[in-house]
Amino acid sequence: MTLKALLLAGVASLAALPALARENHALLVGASTYPALDEKFWLKGPANDIDLVQTFLLSNETIPFEAEDVIVLADGIEGKQAPTLQAIRDAFKELAEKVQPGDFVYLHFSGHGSQAPAKDPDSELDGLDELFLPVDIGPWNDTVGEVENALVDDEIGELIGMLRAKGVDVWAVFDSCHSGTVTRAAPTGEDDEKMRKLEPGALGVPQAALVDAEGTSRGLEDPRDRADAPVTEPEERREGEGAFVAFFAAQTNETTPEKLMPRSTKDRLQGVFTYTVFETLAERPGITYRQLGQEVLRKYSVKNLARSTPLFEGDLDGVVFGSGETADVRQWPAEKGETKLRLKAGSLHGLTKGERLAVMASPADSTEDAVGYVTVDTASTFGATAVLEDGKTLEDVPRGAFLRKVDAGVELTLRVALPEGDGAAETKMKMAAQEIVGKQLLGGRFTFVEPGEEADIRLAVIPESPRPDAIWILDGTGEVPVLETGAGPVLNFDTVPSVSTADKGRDDLADVMAEQFAHIGKALNVLRIGAASSGNGLNVPVELHRARFDLDAGAIVEGSRAPMDSGNVPRMIPGDTVGVRVENTTDQPLDINVLYVGADYSITFMDKGRMQPGGIYNEDLSLISDESFGRDRLVVILSPAGEQSDVEDLSFLEQDPLVRTRAVGGSAEGFRGLLDEAGFGQKTRAALPLGGKKKGPEPMILQFEIDTVPGEG
């Protein structure tokens, strides 16, 4: 019996005692197989998602969950009840009867999503209800106008509201999607990859009903707005009601995939969103929901995981799970095995085979005081083994030792997948690749791989594109980006680099492609270095704001400046400006550098400066142009500075690749040297500098995602 149950069973005099300690509860729902649907629509990943989440919750030392407080509804996990609609409803009822004010509830939904005409059109901008599909889903019932046994977004909101009314804080994660398209033009080798969406037609929803629903759509008044989340928090919280945070794998007009996660896994499909959320939590326990969302977005861009845009709602500035301490140093207790050391951390925590860890006598010691080093020998999702270096034995490891991660492991190599096919353009590109390698035009940090192999960049010839003879340079997803316009979604070839082949010989094509790869590699490597930077103790508030710029007056429109939600991806239109506000809350000077990485892999150096302790940097930095639309990134780099030192100047990252390219091994020391190694590329600009603004810990690199879209008309 839990402590709570014992106290509740006590005598009435116990009512005068202080409030009971909070308990953590969870409901994990994973729907994989759908007997009423064709097997081609069945999924494999939801069961693996739920297994991953359950293991994390029960093994997480920072935020403990007891096994009896975790309800699991998942087909594909032995001994667990299938997630039918009634089972889900019953589980919510069980939770509502069990929880007490101040408790915490984690909810997780993995499975198919879909859409159907809204029963209350006024509640949906697009006239459609979002659905989560339990395993006993049925077809569309025209008599009542609904999909049988579907869990509708409105009901999910009511079930969550039932918990919050008890004074319970709720965090809900939805790894499903509802609509959208994916246009893949290059093979990825992930034949088992599936999208977690089910088109309404597969459920028997009549096309006429969907057309009627579209007729009720009110659309978005401003192109910068996004559709509402499927489950949203009321504008005002009622007295005594618990807090609410919701994470969604995709916007309501997007898809989200399940694939091999991590890529080295050969037979375990996972929801990309689920894995990335919990990988980030394993690496950085104690962060806020906003920080977690930002890191998930950064991993999506750095690793090319998916084109979907996750959505984060609610009290994002609270700490994940409602408690816990931020861990600036990634380290774990060492357990002695027969011949090796074991630790309860693995690939989910960022450990890989061959990685080097420091052996620390105390978790509070400086890394320079390490008593030895080990090399990771094996790494599973939640565990790893390591062997001692330099002839040391287990007897040399002190009692209570910790193993500490000491190397960020930034990979600066660009893997380029050659185009599939044997046409004239494909053949010429393969010959150009041989020329690039033979003449070492790109040094040793570029590798060509076969179509379908793991890659950062995928080359493709796309007959239906505006340039059917060209080599199109796609990201690792192999997908052509989609741009939402007033007339609906269109393939956005404008942000995909391409190089014509008909007018070039092998040598000319090799030179042009090498320049393109260097340009792309520079942009990707800046983002990679940012992803590997922890800040090591820097905790500096950074805020974004936007405003409108009057080109005729050459000034910001008065009263137009407004803060942006840094927990989600804002939309910007031509004429918008992006600004940054940073307050130096440390006791030492900080240098700031701001870069703008465009969807077309452009890098624009925006500004630099120094903030003394207590100082504030507050500048409008970039003007969104109409030359390129897509996913851009604003990168803010904060570096501790010496009192008499020069201001850190990273403008060299904008220089021509032929000037900045280095041979392998020719790098400077430290952080500046790492950035210098990343510094190959050329500059093109989708955002323009406004100009005229020259007014111990590791650097901190913050990355903010921004979608640039066409304006009205």
Residue 15 maps to a domain: no
Residue type, 484: E
Residue 3 maps to a domain: no
C-alpha distances in Å from residue 197, one per residue of 130, 185, 300, 306, 706: 11, 20, 19, 14, 25
pLDDT higher than 50, residue 274: yes
Give dist(CA 252, CA 231) in Å, integer: 11
Residue with tokens 């939801």: 46
Pair (564, 684) in one structural domain: yes
Residue 559's contacts (CB-CB under 8 Å, 6 or more residues apart) are none
Confidence at 692, pLDDT banded by 50, 70, 90:
very low
Pair (509, 634) in one structural domain: no
Pick the last residue of a domain from 301, 322, 343.
322
Residue type, 569: V
Residue 276's contacts (CB-CB under 8 Å, 6 or more residues apart) are 261, 296, 299, 300, 305
> What end-to-end distance do the CA atoms of the chain give, in Å?
64
Residue with tokens 């400086």: 366
pLDDT higher than 60, residue 245: yes
Question: What's the pLDDT score for residue 540?
Answer: 85
User: What percent of the chain shows pLDDT beyond 90?
Assistant: 30
Do the beta carbons of residue 35 and residue 135 sit within 8 Å?
A: yes
Pair (153, 246) in one structural domain: yes
> Tokens at residue 489, please?
């979604």
Phi, psi torsion values for 633, nearest 5 degrees: -135, 130
pLDDT higher than 90, residue 455: no
> Tokens at residue 222, please?
């401003």
Higher pLDDT among residues 682 and 449, named by residue: 449
Residue 14 maps to a domain: no
Give dist(CA 69, CA 5) in Å, integer: 12
C-alpha distances in Å from residue 417, one per residue of 31, 429, 525, 564, 606: 34, 11, 18, 37, 32
Q: Is 599 helix (H, G, I), strand (E, B) or coil?
A: coil
∠ CA 396-398-401, rounded to 5°: 120
Question: What's the pLDDT score for residue 628?
Answer: 66
DSSP 65-120: --GGGEEEEETTSTTPBP--HHHHHHHHHHHHHH--TT-EEEEEEES-EEEEE-SS
Pair (204, 71) in one structural domain: yes
pLDDT tens, 502-540?
999 999 999 989 888 888 888 888 888 777 665 455 678
Most confident of the ranges 96-105, 200-209, 294-303:
96-105
pLDDT higher than 50, residue 664: no
pLDDT higher than 90, residue 247: yes
> Any idea which of 408-412, 583-587, 604-608 has the lowest mean pLDDT?
408-412
Residue 267 maps to a domain: yes
> Any idea which of 143-157, 190-204, 290-304, 410-424 has the lowest mean pLDDT?
190-204
Pair (490, 455) in one structural domain: yes
Give dist(CA 700, CA 526) in Å, integer: 13
DSSP 243-286: PEEEEESS-TT---EEEESSTT-SS-EEEHHHHHHHHHHHHSTT
Pick the last residue of a domain from 521, 549, 583.
521
C-alpha distances in Å from residue 6, one per residue of 69, 225, 466, 587: 15, 50, 71, 49
Average pLDDT over residues 270-290: 90
Task: Provide the whole-model pTM.
Answer: 0.81
CB atoms within 10 A of CB 228: 18
Number of domains in the chain: 4
Q: DSSP label at 479?
A: B
Question: What's the pLDDT score for residue 221?
Answer: 67
CATH number of the domain within which 309 lies = 3.40.50.1460
pLDDT higher than 70, residue 3: no
Quote helix, strand, coil % in the chain, to nearest 5.
25, 25, 50
Confidence at 218, pLDDT banded by 50, 70, 90:
low
Q: Is 618 helix (H, G, I), strand (E, B) or coil?
A: strand
| Burial of 345: CB neighbours in 10 Å, binned 0-12, 13-18, 19+ | buried
pLDDT higher than 70, residue 402: yes
Residue 120 maps to a domain: yes
Give dist(CA 59, CA 81) in Å, integer: 22
Give dist(CA 373, CA 392) in Å, integer: 9
**What average pLDDT is seen over the chain?**
80
pLDDT higher than 80, residue 577: yes
Residue 85 maps to a domain: yes
DSSP 322-342: G-----SS-EEE-EE-SSSEE
Higher pLDDT among residues 642 and 538, named by residue: 642
Average pLDDT over residues 443-472: 87
Question: What's the pLDDT score for residue 675?
Answer: 53
Give dist(CA 536, CA 463) in Å, integer: 49
pLDDT tens, 106-120?
999 999 888 877 776
Residue 186 maps to a domain: yes
Give dist(CA 340, CA 667) in Å, integer: 35
Residue with tokens 């390490």: 370
Question: What's the pLDDT score for residue 660?
Answer: 21
Average pLDDT over residues 275-280: 93
| Burial of 211: CB neighbours in 10 Å, binned 0-12, 13-18, 19+ | exposed
Give dist(CA 620, CA 582) in Å, integer: 12
Higher pLDDT among residues 283 and 583, named by residue: 583
Residue 239's contacts (CB-CB under 8 Å, 6 or more residues apart) are none
Confidence at 267, pLDDT banded by 50, 70, 90:
confident
Average pLDDT over residues 297-301: 86
User: Could you list the residue range(s) of the whole structural domain that residue 150 is in?
Assistant: 21-322
pLDDT higher than 80, residue 216: no
Residue 346's contacts (CB-CB under 8 Å, 6 or more residues apart) are 379, 380, 381, 382, 383, 384
> Tokens at residue 676, please?
């210098």
Residue with tokens 């400066």: 609
Higher pLDDT among residues 688 and 402, named by residue: 402
Question: What's the pLDDT score for residue 90?
Answer: 96
Nearest to 254 by CA among 565, 32, 489, 599: 489
Helix axes 506-532, 424-438, angle to 10 degrees: 70
Question: What's the pLDDT score for residue 698?
Answer: 65
Dmax over Cα atoms in the chain, in whole Å? Answer: 90
Q: What is the dihedral of CA 380, 385, 390, 394, to 10 degrees?
A: 170
Do the beta carbons of residue 711 and residue 573 sit within 8 Å?
A: yes
Question: What's the pLDDT score for residue 665?
Answer: 26
Pair (31, 170) in one structural domain: yes
Q: DSSP label at 698?
A: P
Give dist(CA 368, CA 496) in Å, integer: 46
Do the beta carbons of residue 670 and residue 660 sit within 8 Å?
A: no
Pair (257, 347) in one structural domain: no
> Tokens at residue 681, please?
């590329």
Question: What's the pLDDT score for residue 430?
Answer: 94
CATH number of the domain within which 487 lies = 3.40.50
Question: What's the pLDDT score for residue 666?
Answer: 28
> Tokens at residue 632, please?
């851009």
pLDDT higher than 60, residue 661: no
Pair (584, 474) in one structural domain: no
- As a residue count, the chain comes to 713
Pair (315, 450) in one structural domain: no
Higher pLDDT among residues 673 and 584, named by residue: 584
Confidence at 668, pLDDT banded by 50, 70, 90:
very low
Helix axes 45-59, 272-283, angle to 10 degrees: 20
Confidence at 418, pLDDT banded by 50, 70, 90:
very high
Pick the last residue of a domain from 496, 521, 546.
521
Question: What's the pLDDT score for residue 199?
Answer: 75
pLDDT higher than 60, residue 233: yes
Give dist(CA 670, CA 23) in Å, integer: 45
Residue 409 maps to a domain: no
pLDDT higher than 80, residue 38: yes
User: What percent of the chain shows pLDDT beyond 70?
Assistant: 79
pLDDT higher than 80, residue 669: no
Pair (85, 133) in one structural domain: yes
> Any idea which of 55-64, 226-235, 358-367, 501-510 has the lowest mean pLDDT?
226-235
CATH number of the domain within which 372 lies = 2.40.240
Give dist(CA 565, CA 297) in Å, integer: 14
Pair (597, 497) in one structural domain: no
Question: What's the pLDDT score for residue 200?
Answer: 78
> Any idea which of 57-66, 276-285, 478-487, 557-566 has the lowest mean pLDDT?
478-487
Pair (430, 387) in one structural domain: no
Residue with tokens 């959505």: 311
Do the beta carbons of residue 200 and residue 211 sit within 8 Å?
A: no
Provide the strand spans (E) within 156-264.
169-175, 194-195, 244-248, 257-260
Confidence at 663, pLDDT banded by 50, 70, 90:
very low
Confidence at 179, pLDDT banded by 50, 70, 90:
low
Question: What's the pLDDT score for residue 205?
Answer: 79
pLDDT tens, 313-351?
998 989 999 865 555 567 889 999 888 999 988 888 888
Confidence at 10, pLDDT banded by 50, 70, 90:
very low
Question: What's the pLDDT score for residue 220?
Answer: 58
pLDDT higher than 90, residue 493: no
Residue type, 230: P
**Edge-to-edge strand list for the sheet holding 244-248:** 70-74, 24-30, 104-110, 169-175, 244-248, 311-314
